[in-house]
Structure 1
Amino acid sequence: MVDVGRVGIWSIGFRNDDPSAANEIRDAAAELEELGYGAIWLGGSPGVHHAVPLLEATSRIVVATGILNIWEYDAADVADRQKAVSAAYPGRFLLGLGASHPGLVKAYDKPYSAMTRYLDGLDTAGAPSAERVLAALGPRMLELARDRTAGAHPYLVTPEHTERARQVLGPDRLLAPEVKVVLDTDPERARATARQHLGFYMKLPNYTNNLLRLGFTEDDFADGGSDRLVDAVVAWGDVEAVRRRVDAHRDAGADHAALQVLTDDRSGLPRAQWRELATALDLR
C-alpha cells in the first residue's frame, strides 16, 4: 500500500494546464514536501499525466488523483500510464478513481457497474490494485473499494461518515477522507466562504444522498447549506479548530486527512494557509 502519511493537501489548483503556472505548481509541491505533508491530492478530474510534474519536482511526497473521472479516461491507457509512473516513482503515486455524477457526464449510467467494469479493465492491463483507491461514499462502493483496491478517498463527508466507512472497509484498508478548511474565525464570513464552495455540490445527488443517509434533510441543502451542514462538513475557525476536526476523523477511523483549504480563489494555491496548518498540525 502507498504510504500517504497522516495529512495531505487536496487542491484543484495543481490541475492547471496553463504553462505559465508550471513553475509555481512545482515550487508549491516542493514546499508541501518540505513542510512535511504526506500527499498531494490533485482535484479537478485529473489524469495520471497531471501527477508527473509534481513527482518530478519532489523526492518523497505521494501524488494522488483525487479523483480521476472514469468516464473521461480509457482504462487501458490509464493502466499503461499508471504502470509507467509507478515504475519511475516507486511508492509515490496513488490512483484515485471516481464515477462522477449525473448531469456532469453525458453517458452516465449505473456508477457501481461502470466502476466494476473499469476495475476489470485495469486488472486486465496489469495495473496494481494496491496503488488505487475509490471515491466511495455509499456502502456498495465502499465494499468495492475494500475488495478491489487499497481503500477509499471519500469527499464531502463528516467524521460520522468516516466511522461508517471504517466499519465497511475493515481495519486494513486505507481511509483518506477529504476535509474542507476555512481559516477564518468570523462565523458569518467563514460560512459565506464555505457556502460559495458548497453550493455546487448541493446540486449533485451522489453527495446529497450521502448527506441524507447521515441525517441531514433537503432543507439543509438550500442556499449553499444550512449552518448545521456547513459546520459539519467544513472545519472553520483557527488552526486549533482544524486540528480538532482532523482528530475527530482520525478517532473515527481515518488513516489520513486530505485538507482542502477554501478561499475566494478556488483554483489558487493558498500557500500561506498551508504553511500555517503545517506548523499547527506538527507534521514533522
Structure 2
Amino acid sequence: MKLGPVGVYLPISFTHTASADAQREGARRLEAAGYPTVWTNEVVGGKDALVQLAILLGATETLRFGTGIANIWAREPQVLHAAAAQLAAAHPDRFVLGIGAGHPAQAAALGRDYGNPVETMRGYLTRMDAQTWPPAPEAAYPRILGANGPKMLALAAELTDGAYPANLPPAFTAETRALLGPDKLLVVGLSVVDGGAEAAREKIAGSLGLGWYGKALRRLGFALDDHDALAEAIVAHGSPAAIAAKAAEHLAAGADHVLLMPPTTDDFLADVAALERLAPAFG
C-alpha cells in the first residue's frame, strides 16, 4: 500500500463529534487538497474508528485511511480482524489498521486488567486470527502497532507489518528503522502547532509528565528541562515550509510515512481548511 510520504489526522474534538455530513465533506476536501492518506483516532466507548472509516471510505474515491489507533480495549480481537477485513475487501489497498494498547485508565473504565502491555498486546495479536464461524473475509490489509518503547517495537517487528511511534525526534525514527529492519512499514506521528517556538515549548511541557516519554528522551541525550531543544527537535511549528522540513527530517531518518497531528478546535471544517492551506508545502 502506498500511503504517500505525508498524511494527516482528520481533525479531532474531545468535546463533540462532527456530523457524518461534515466528516464526508472534510475527507473529500482533504482528498482534493492532495493528501494521500488520512488517519482517525478512537475514543473507547465514545467513537468507533472502523465505523467512521466505513463512512469515509465510501465517501471518497482514492483517499487511503488508517486508524491511529484502534484501541484493543474497544473490541475483541476476532471482531477487530473481521471488521478490518471487511473494510479491506470493500476498499482494496485503501485501509491500514493501526492497533494500540492505549492507557491503563481505558482498560479500567471497561473493567479490564491492563496487565503487562507488551504481553497483553502479544495475546491480542495472536487471537486476531483465531478461527470464527462464519469466517472473516479473506482480504489482506497492513497491521501496524502503536509503539514507542523498545519492547513494543520489537513485538511490532515480530508480529505485525510495522510500527507507529509518535512525538519523538528524528533520532528515534532512525533507531526504530534500524530495529524494524528495511521491509517493515514505519509511520511516524509528528505534532504540529500553530505559532512559533513558544507554542512548541508548551506542547512539549504537556507531554513530559508521561514517564516513558521522559525516559526515551533522556536515552536519546536530551535534558528534560531544555524545552527549547526539545521543541526544536520534536514539534513542527512556524511556516508551512518549516513544518514540511521537519517532516522531511523523519523521512530522511527512515520513516515511510509521516502523520501530521495538528491542533484542533471545535470548528471541524475550519480545522480542515487549515490543513488545506498547509497542503501545498508538501506538493
1:276 is matched with: 277
Of residues 237-246 and 129-138 in structure 1, the stretch that sits farther from structure 2 once superposed is 129-138
Q: How does 1:169-184 map to 2 (within 5 A)?
A: 169-184=180-195
Alpha carbons 2:10, 2:27 under 8 Å: kept: no
Query: Aligned partner of 1:93: which letter?
Result: F
Q: Is the counterpart of residue 204 in structure 1 residue 210 in structure 2?
A: yes
Task: Give the CA deviation at 1:47.
Answer: 3.2
Task: Give the CA deviation at 1:14.
Answer: 8.0
2:59 is matched with: 57
- Taking the aligned partners of 1:147 and 1:15, their CA distance within structure 2 comes to 34
- Taking the aligned partners of 1:70 and 1:141, their CA distance within structure 2 comes to 14
Instruction: State, as a whole percentage, how many aligned pairs show the same letter.
Output: 35
| Structure 2 residues not aligned, in runs of 5+ | none
If the length of structure 1 is used for normalisation, what is the TM-score? 0.85
- Aligned in 2, Cα 1:259/1:51: closer, same or farther, shift over 3 Å? same
2:233 is matched with: 232
Q: Is the counterpart of residue 116 in structure 1 residue 122 in structure 2?
A: yes
- Aligned in 2, Cα 1:144/1:219: closer, same or farther, shift over 3 Å? same
2:39 is matched with: 41
**Which secondary structure does the structure 2 equivalent of 1:152 belong to?**
strand
Task: Give the CA deviation at 1:215.
Answer: 2.8
Task: Give the CA deviation at 1:130.
Answer: 4.9
Alpha carbons 1:130, 1:149 under 8 Å: kept: no
- Taking the aligned partners of 1:129 and 1:148, their CA distance within structure 2 comes to 15
- Aligned in 2, Cα 1:142/1:212: closer, same or farther, shift over 3 Å? same
If the length of structure 2 is used for normalisation, what is the TM-score? 0.85
Task: Give the CA deviation at 1:82.
Answer: 1.0
2:76 is matched with: 74
1:223 is matched with: none
- Taking the aligned partners of 1:206 and 1:50, their CA distance within structure 2 comes to 30
Task: Give the CA deviation at 1:229.
Answer: 2.2
Query: Aligned partner of 1:245: which letter?
Result: K
Task: Give the CA deviation at 1:182.
Answer: 2.0
- Taking the aligned partners of 1:17 and 1:53, their CA distance within structure 2 comes to 18
Alpha carbons 2:87, 2:95 under 8 Å: kept: yes
- Aligned in 2, Cα 1:255/1:91: closer, same or farther, shift over 3 Å? same
Query: Aligned partner of 2:159: which letter?
Result: R
Of residues 270-279 and 239-248 in structure 1, the stretch that sits farther from structure 2 once superposed is 270-279
Q: How does 1:104-143 map to 2 (within 5 A)?
A: 104-106=106-108, 107-125=113-131, 130-143=141-154
2:197 is matched with: 187
- Taking the aligned partners of 2:235 and 2:219, their CA distance within structure 1 comes to 18
Alpha carbons 1:181, 1:236 under 8 Å: kept: yes
Q: Is the counterpart of residue 161 in structure 1 residue 172 in structure 2?
A: yes
- Taking the aligned partners of 1:182 and 1:86, their CA distance within structure 2 comes to 33
Q: Is the counterpart of residue 147 in structure 1 residue 158 in structure 2?
A: yes
- Taking the aligned partners of 1:68 and 1:91, their CA distance within structure 2 comes to 18
- Taking the aligned partners of 2:161 and 2:34, their CA distance within structure 1 comes to 23
Alpha carbons 1:13, 1:267 under 8 Å: kept: no
**Which secondary structure does the structure 1 equivalent of 2:192 belong to?**
strand
- Aligned in 2, Cα 1:252/1:241: closer, same or farther, shift over 3 Å? same
- Taking the aligned partners of 2:89 and 2:141, their CA distance within structure 1 comes to 14
- Aligned in 2, Cα 1:56/1:80: closer, same or farther, shift over 3 Å? same
- Aligned in 2, Cα 1:61/1:88: closer, same or farther, shift over 3 Å? same
- Taking the aligned partners of 1:17 and 1:182, their CA distance within structure 2 comes to 21
- Taking the aligned partners of 2:142 and 2:13, their CA distance within structure 1 comes to 21
Query: Aligned partner of 2:219: which letter?
Result: R
- Aligned in 2, Cα 1:266/1:51: closer, same or farther, shift over 3 Å? same
Query: Aligned partner of 1:88: which letter?
Result: A
- Aligned in 2, Cα 1:262/1:252: closer, same or farther, shift over 3 Å? same
1:3 is matched with: 2
| Structure 1 residues not aligned, in runs of 5+ | 221-225
**Which secondary structure does the structure 2 equivalent of 1:124 belong to?**
coil
1:32 is matched with: 30
- Taking the aligned partners of 1:62 and 1:136, their CA distance within structure 2 comes to 22
Alpha carbons 1:12, 1:43 under 8 Å: kept: no
The CA RMSD over aligned residues, in Å, is 2.5
